[in-house]
Amino acid sequence: MDFDFFFNNLPQLTITGLAFGAIYALIALGYTMVYGVLQLINFAHSEVFMYGTFATLWTVWALTGSGGASGLQLVGILLLALVMSMLSSALIALVLERVAYRPLIKKNAPRLIALISAIGASFVLAELMGLRDRVTGWVGLDDDLDRYVGGARINASMSGIVNMPNVEIAGISIKSVDLLVIAAALAMMVVVDQFVRRSKLGRGIRATAQDQETAALMGVNPTRTIQMTFLIGGLMAGVAAFLYMLKIEVTKFDVGFLLGVKAFAAAVLGGIGNLRGALLGGLLLGVAENWGAALIGTEWRHVVAFVLLVVILLFRPTGLLGESLGKARA
Amino acid sequence: MIRSSKSWQAVAVASVAGLVLTACGTTDEGGSGSESSGGGGGAACDVKLAFFGPETGPAAGLGKPIIQGAQLALDEYNADAECAIEMINYDSQGSPDEAPALATEAAGDESLIGIVGPAFSGESAAAGPIFAEAGLPTISPSATNPALADNGWDTFHRVLGNDATQGPAAATYIADTLSSKATFVIDDASEYGAGLAEEVTNGLGDVVVDTDTIQAGDTDFSATAQKVSASKADTVFFGGYYAEATILVSQLKDAGFDGTFVAADGVKDPAFLDAGNDAEGSVLTCPCIPNTDPNVAEFAEAYEAEFGEPAGTYAAEAYDAANVFLDGIAEGIDNREEMLEFVNGYDEAGVTKQVAFDEKGEPSEVHVYSYKVEGGEIVPEGEIS
């Protein structure tokens, strides 16, 4: 136990933990919303995130020439990358809903079947990205797209394109990208929270979550509502993917797996089905892991995260904010 | 199931019969065969070699030059041999989990009499007992964990120095060339990385200010980076592979570390250069010989002509390893037992060094070189002594 180091560097450890936690939270949103409406754990959501990271990477690659970009041009490229990331993730989420879930839900299949379908879809999507050189090879495009599809199973990196300076706050050096990630994630959470609370569509989502049949009788179109839920989850995963690429700069076809598991844990920690719970769970998990890594050793960070999850669930089986589970879902 | 196991038995019987027949054939010709060095009249036919290691998967970048180096040796042999020797790739993806099943498959193919590999230390540890039991000789061009040679597998050989020589060489470099006052040692908890980090830690003694262990596959190393910058280290040594090294070095530099990043052969891959400016100035140690060395110039030229890219890490070592087996085949050896004997007694000049093995399978001659990332390229510096 390295208490000296821990207490001397507590602010930095907390900020970097919050930054990663914010990314968990944004991904956790997708898990929690779909669960709220469908009581289904969408295990393919990690792949929705992964496609967003590649959309960001490819947009940045395509638009920055060999000389790189700077100033306003770079900001423009990044904004476009954010939009592309959100659109790609949303598209994947909608396709998932249409192909992997809707046919099952229509036939009233047990939830377990949908869960297996989700796991299957997750593998298909991940391997499709991991074998993208072969896929493009079939249509004879692999040479033209070599930069994008080559090295399909190793890391792809946009390192060195975005260089954000460190800032000094009260004598502590903090990475500005971490602050940006936290701020952006919080802003997105507020937007989604308000949207679900105040808009007509949001009311529909909440109504469907409480009782799908009654909601349908009141004129809420369940299919459309479920679609909206997937859409919002996908858009948020796209934001998470963009922020992840700003911070880590490197992605790979299987990057979604670990992050997906963590984000799912964050959703459960906060109380699955509860939007604010996802935020709280994500931030808490991120900070706890980072503190654990600093105190005990980095190899223990995943252990710390899941021990925390188990301990909290022992005392609060429905998660931190999970009291309302079954009542005001989503 | 029954059908397939029956046909499998038939294949096994046939191949054993074939072996017995060809073995009889070669004893007559043995005398004349040993003189011809190329694929002359005495060379064995119907035998195969294999590569064992990552052809795909996250570490495929390290596997490719090894496969191509061995392939070059084969192509040169086949060019003037009367019967071509084939090389099979057992694609382990570099994973110790995949290795045992693949090794069992390889051991079952009796016409397979030599393996170039396994490429990595973890998979070598997992597959080694199976090869030892099958009496199938292996020559690894790249597995460097010291403990591998201590298992008593008489089939195990490698053509490069282990981490017990690479680790101290890295420590010597950090202490003497970099004159480090404070070194932070990080490893990735792998067979290879942890072993190497331990050797470096032992070699440096008091200079090591702290150590940390990361998990392979992770992408966020904020806590580690914070530890490094808080420790005021002027040098970081990382025992692990390039996938994590690329991300780690970026995050270290972002967290304010401005010293030298030192890593070993597992990071010596063009993919490490993805880290761009953050990789600049990093030092990589490797028991692999630089292409600029006069001894390998001819090999490097032939390699580039064949594959259209410069010879990568361990290509020359793989070429040497394959040539040991091919020399044996040229002498008419067509079974594992004689091949093992041949490899154990081998002592010829290869492109990387005088290739000979001691009783544990370690090379009798060992060199470690240092490389530096300069101007977006990995440039050889020279031998560490």
What is the three-state SS of chain B?
Answer: CHHHHHHHHHHHHHHHHHHHHHHHHHHHHHHHHCCCCCCCCCCCCCCEEEEEECCCCCCHHHHHHHHHHHHHHHHHHHHCCCCCCEEEEEECCCCCCCHHHHHHHHHHCCCEEEEECCCCHHHHHHHHHHHHHHCCCEEECCCCCHHHHHHCCCCEEECCCCHHHHHHHHHHHHHHHCCCCCEEEEECCCHHHHHHHHHHHHHHHHHEEEEEECCCCCCCCHHHHHHHHHHCCCEEEEECCHHHHHHHHHHHHHCCCCCEEEECHHHCCHHHHHHHHHHCCCEEEECCCCCCCHHHHHHHHHHHHHHCCCCCCCHHHHHHHHHHHHHHHHCCCCCHHHHHHHHHCCEEECCCCEEEECCCCCECCCCCEEEEEECCEEEEEEECC
Q: Which residues of B175-207 are buried (b: 16+ CB within 10 A; e: fewer)?
A: beeeebebbbbbbbebbbbbbbbbbbbebbeeb
Least confident piece of the model among A102-111, A122-131, B177-186, B236-245: A102-111
Average pLDDT over residues B337-357: 92
Nearest CA-CA distance, residue B59 and chain A, Å: 7
- Res A320: pLDDT: 86
Nearest CA-CA distance, residue A269 and chain B, Å: 21
Nearest CA in chain B to A254: B217
Beginning with the edge strand found earlier in the chain, give each strand of the sheet holding B283-286 in spatial order: B208-213, B183-187, B235-239, B260-263, B283-286, B369-374, B377-383
Distance CA B209, CA A6 (A): 16
- Choosing among 2.70.70.10, 3.40.50.2300, 3.40.250.10, 3.40.50.300, the CATH entry for B28-161+293-352 is 3.40.50.2300
- Res A317: pLDDT: 84
Q: Per-domain residue ranges for chain B?
A: 28-161+293-352, 164-286+369-383
* Residue A212 reports pLDDT greater than 70: yes
A9 touching B, CB under 8 A?
A: yes
The verdict on a CB contact (< 8 Å) between A301 and B215 is: yes
Write the pLDDT tens digit of every residue in A295-309. 888 888 889 888 988
- Res A329: pLDDT: 46
Write the pLDDT tens digit of every residue in B288-330. 888 888 888 889 999 999 999 888 888 999 999 999 999 999 9
Which of A154, A250, A298 has its CB closest to that of B61? A154
Beta partners for residue B239, in sequence order? B187
Identical fold for domains B28-161+293-352 and B164-286+369-383, yes or no, is yes
Distance CA A83, CA B231 (A): 40
Residue A93, both tokens: 């989420």
Write the pLDDT tens digit of every residue in A179-211. 999 999 999 999 999 999 899 989 998 888 888
With 0-12 / 13-18 / 19 or more C-beta atoms within 10 angstroms meaning exposed / middle / buried, residue A330 is: buried
Which of B213, B215, B274 has its CB closest to that of A302? B215
Q: pLDDT band for position B41 (50/70/90)?
A: low
Average pLDDT over residues B101-119: 93
Q: pLDDT band for position A325 (50/70/90)?
A: very low
Rounded to the nearest 5°, which phi and psi values hold at B207? -65, -25
A245 touching B, CB under 8 A?
A: no
- Res B324: pLDDT: 94
Least confident piece of the model among A70-74, A147-151, A274-278, B62-66: A147-151
- Res A119: pLDDT: 92
Distance CA B100, CA B134 (A): 13
The verdict on a CB contact (< 8 Å) between A13 and B223 is: yes
* Residue A328 reports pLDDT greater than 50: no
- Res A67: pLDDT: 62
- Res B145: pLDDT: 87
* Residue B29 reports pLDDT greater than 60: no
Beta partners for residue B371, in sequence order? B284, B380
Q: pLDDT band for position B19 (50/70/90)?
A: very low
Distance CA B14, CA A305 (A): 56
- Res A233: pLDDT: 94
Portion of chain A with pLDDT greater than 90, in percent: 46
Average pLDDT over residues A94-109: 90
* Residue B27 reports pLDDT greater than 60: no
Q: pLDDT band for position B218 (50/70/90)?
A: confident
- Res A323: pLDDT: 54
Residues contacting residue A93 through CB under 8 Å, at least 6 positions apart:
A30, A45, A48, A230, A231, A233, A234, A237
Distance CA B313, CA B66 (A): 8
The one-letter amino acid code at A304 reads: V
* Residue A58 reports pLDDT greater than 80: yes
Residue B305, both tokens: 């002509």
Please tell me the number of Cα atoms within 13 Å of B326 on its side-chain side.
29
The verdict on a CB contact (< 8 Å) between B61 and A151 is: yes
Domains parsed from chain A with CATH numbers? 3-162+169-324 (1.10.3470)
- Choosing among 3.40.50.2300, 3.40.109.10, 3.60.20.10, 3.30.70.2860, the CATH entry for B164-286+369-383 is 3.40.50.2300
Which of A248, A297, A298 has its CB closest to that of B247? A248
CA B381 to chain CA mean position, Å: 21
Kind plus residue range of the DSSP H or E element containing A166 = strand A166-169
Rg (CA), chain B: 22
- Res A68: pLDDT: 66
- Res A229: pLDDT: 92
Distance CA A37, CA A112 (A): 16
Portion of chain B with pLDDT greater than 70, in percent: 89
Nearest CA-CA distance, residue A199 and chain B, Å: 37
A85 touching B, CB under 8 A?
A: no
Least confident piece of the model among A70-74, B24-28, B265-269: B24-28
∠ Cα B213 B219 B223 (to 5°):
50
Average pLDDT over residues A140-148: 74
* Chain B residues touching A258 at Cβ < 8 A: 217-218
Which of A12, A160, A298 has its CB closest to that of B224? A298
Q: Which residue, among B71, B23, B11, has the nearest Cα to B47 in the 3D structure?
A: B23
Residues contacting residue B35 through CB under 8 Å, at least 6 positions apart:
none
- Res B175: pLDDT: 93
Least confident piece of the model among A36-40, A44-48, B152-156: A36-40
Which of A157, A175, A298 has its CB closest to that of B274? A157
Average pLDDT over residues B72-101: 91
Average pLDDT over residues A113-134: 90
Distance CA B246, CA B278 (A): 9
Is the distance from CB of A94 to CB of A226 less than 8 angstroms?
A: no
* Residue A29 reports pLDDT greater than 70: yes
